[in-house]
Amino acid sequence: MFLFNSLPKILSDSILEQVLESGELKVLTRNSPTTYYESADGPAGLEYDLAKMFADQLGVKLTLVVPNSFTNLLEDIKSGRAHIAAAGLSITEPRKEILKFGPSYQEVTEQLIYNVNKTRPKSLDDIKDKRLEIVAESSHESTLITERANHPDLIWTSNTKLESEELIQMVADEEIDYTIADSNEVTLNQRFMLNIRTAFDIGDPKQIAWAFPKNEDNSLYAAAVKFFERIKNNGELTRLIERTYGHAENFDYVGTLYFQKHIETRLPKYQAMFEKAAAEHGLDWKLLAAIGYQESHWNPKATSPTGVRGIMMLTQATAAQLDIKNRLKPQSSIRGGAEYFASRLKKIDKEIEEPDKTWMALAAYNVGYGHLEDARIITEQMGNDPNKWIDVKQVLPLLAKRKWYKKTKHGYARGWEPVRYVENIRSYYDILRWMNGKNGTPEHEALSILPKVP
């Protein structure tokens, strides 16, 4: 890790020197699941993670500022009221006239969003005389201005107060007909708003980057360029993006629809049991419930061909080990599942940090701790990080191939199953957080929050 404090002084009044001397990096951002939000465990979001990592490497405190509107954000960074805008900003030609962009770290596509209860439009010509609303001064507005040359009847409303996610919700609630959203926003929100759909892509993919005030001082900009070069080369950027989006990319509409229905019809019978068992082991009950749903769809009488039974689908051997007399009794099964998962979590290497520790424990819960360790050993042999889920999950499927499993201590495993298992639970957990948020917890807390484990 490098610290910019150790660099020789360039100019006593350079922006980088001002940041280092003041001990503060001031960053403009937006409140959304793709950028920054307050979770139960503190600040979260991809832009927050990146900005915090950069501030830590500078050796300064990160101060985040969320302007009242997107328009204010652009004006504030243009005027130099903050050092950086880390807000999921697309690089556009008009913006390049007034701002300086750092290296791109993500690619998105603008998409027209509609409600499934409406007819799917096939082109921008199909949406005239309908209510299209977008974020004012966004890249989406620039795109529409360009598109109007080919679609002269195209009209829209530019909203100066709402964020893109709120406009997506308005489409879901049929308050407006259409909006435009970036593909990463759609990826996260489609699991919660099941009646939104992508009609079509608009324009070419766009690059996302940090924005800086456009001036002659490149000191902080150059430091950011070096920072992004480093995290791209060491794989940390890929891991951060996977943490935010990896489990949400393979969206299953039908499966998610049934899950949300079962939250209403089945979960109320067992929620208190999940809460009690989770509290006894320092777990988040919603994570435990997500495991239970993946195992049995909250069916207390579930039985597999291999003999595992009950809501948590415990094997006979595991039930005996945990002193569970009746696996079909919901309270006993849930108590046993909580105890067993907690034991997997405590067994995971202490060097593994969250959220990877939880994902590894889930994989061990499914495939067995020994097979997980085999996969971690192969991961390290391949030159990747055995403490990162994004690397280990690429290796687990190899345990089903003789070329690889013959070299391991524990042999063959259906290694693709724990990968699917973990990703499904991550999505179920997100949805439970979101549904719970509708009853009082801020909705942004629905995304990627981890349990507190002693």
Write the pLDDT tens digit of every residue in 311-339. 999 988 888 989 998 999 999 999 999 99
CB 299 within 8 A of CB 309: no
The pLDDT, as a whole number, for residue 437 is 59
For residue 277, give every residue at least 6 positions away whose Cβ sits within 8 Å of its Cβ, in sequence order, or none: 283, 285, 288, 334, 335, 337, 338, 339
The pLDDT, as a whole number, for residue 251 is 64
Report how far residue 366's alpha carbon sits from residue 364's, in angstroms, rounded to the nearest whole number: 5
Kindly report the pTM of this predicted structure: 0.68
Active-site residue, 295 included: yes
CB 286 within 8 A of CB 428: no
Torsion angles phi and psi, residue 79, rounded to 5 = -85, 0
Q: Which residue has the higher pLDDT, 303 or 171?
A: 171
Segment among 59-63, 123-127, 194-198 with least mean pLDDT: 194-198
The pLDDT, as a whole number, for residue 8 is 42
The pLDDT, as a whole number, for residue 39 is 60
pLDDT digits (tens, 9 = 90+) for 387-428: 999 999 999 999 988 889 888 998 888 888 899 899 889 989
What's the first-to-final CA gap in the chain, in angstroms?
Answer: 29
pLDDT band at 143 (very low <50, low <70, confident <90, very high): very high
State whether the Cα torsion 258-259-264-270 is positive or negative: positive
The pLDDT, as a whole number, for residue 5 is 42
Strand partners, 178: 132
The pLDDT, as a whole number, for residue 452 is 33
Give the chain's mean pLDDT: 87
For residue 18, give every residue at least 6 positions away whose Cβ sits within 8 Å of its Cβ, in sequence order, or none: none
Report how far residue 389's alpha carbon sits from residue 267's, in angstroms, rounded to the nearest whole number: 29
pLDDT digits (tens, 9 = 90+) for 279-320: 999 999 999 999 999 999 999 998 876 678 899 999 888 889
The pLDDT, as a whole number, for residue 42 is 64
Q: Could you give the angle at the alpha carbon of 63 between the alpha carbons of 163 and 438, nearest 5°?
A: 40
pLDDT digits (tens, 9 = 90+) for 15-74: 999 999 999 999 999 988 789 877 645 687 899 999 999 999 999 999 999 998 888 999
pLDDT digits (tens, 9 = 90+) for 78-96: 999 999 999 999 999 999 9
| 184 pLDDT above the threshold of 70 | yes
pLDDT band at 442 (very low <50, low <70, confident <90, very high): very low
Task: Out of 47, 295, 339, 445, pick the active-site residue.
Answer: 295
The pLDDT, as a whole number, for residue 387 is 95
pLDDT band at 182 (very low <50, low <70, confident <90, very high): very high
| 112 pLDDT above the threshold of 90 | yes
The pLDDT, as a whole number, for residue 248 is 65
Q: Name the CATH superfamily for 108-205.
A: Periplasmic binding protein-like II (3.40.190.10)
| 354 pLDDT above the threshold of 60 | yes
The pLDDT, as a whole number, for residue 129 is 86
| CATH value of 254-446 in 1.25.40.20, 3.40.50.300, 1.10.530.10, 3.40.190.290 | 1.10.530.10
108-205 and 254-446 agree in CATH topology: no
Q: Which residue has the higher pLDDT, 3 or 228?
A: 228
pLDDT band at 249 (very low <50, low <70, confident <90, very high): low
Report how far residue 103's alpha carbon sits from residue 212's, in angstroms, rounded to the nearest whole number: 11
| 126 pLDDT above the threshold of 60 | yes
Report how far residue 450's alpha carbon sits from residue 273's, in angstroms, rounded to the nearest whole number: 20
Fold that domain 4-106+208-247 belongs to in CATH: D-Maltodextrin-Binding Protein; domain 2 (3.40.190)
What residue ranges do the domains of the chain occupy? 4-106+208-247, 108-205, 254-446
Cis peptide upstream of residue 33 (ω within 30 degrees of 0): no
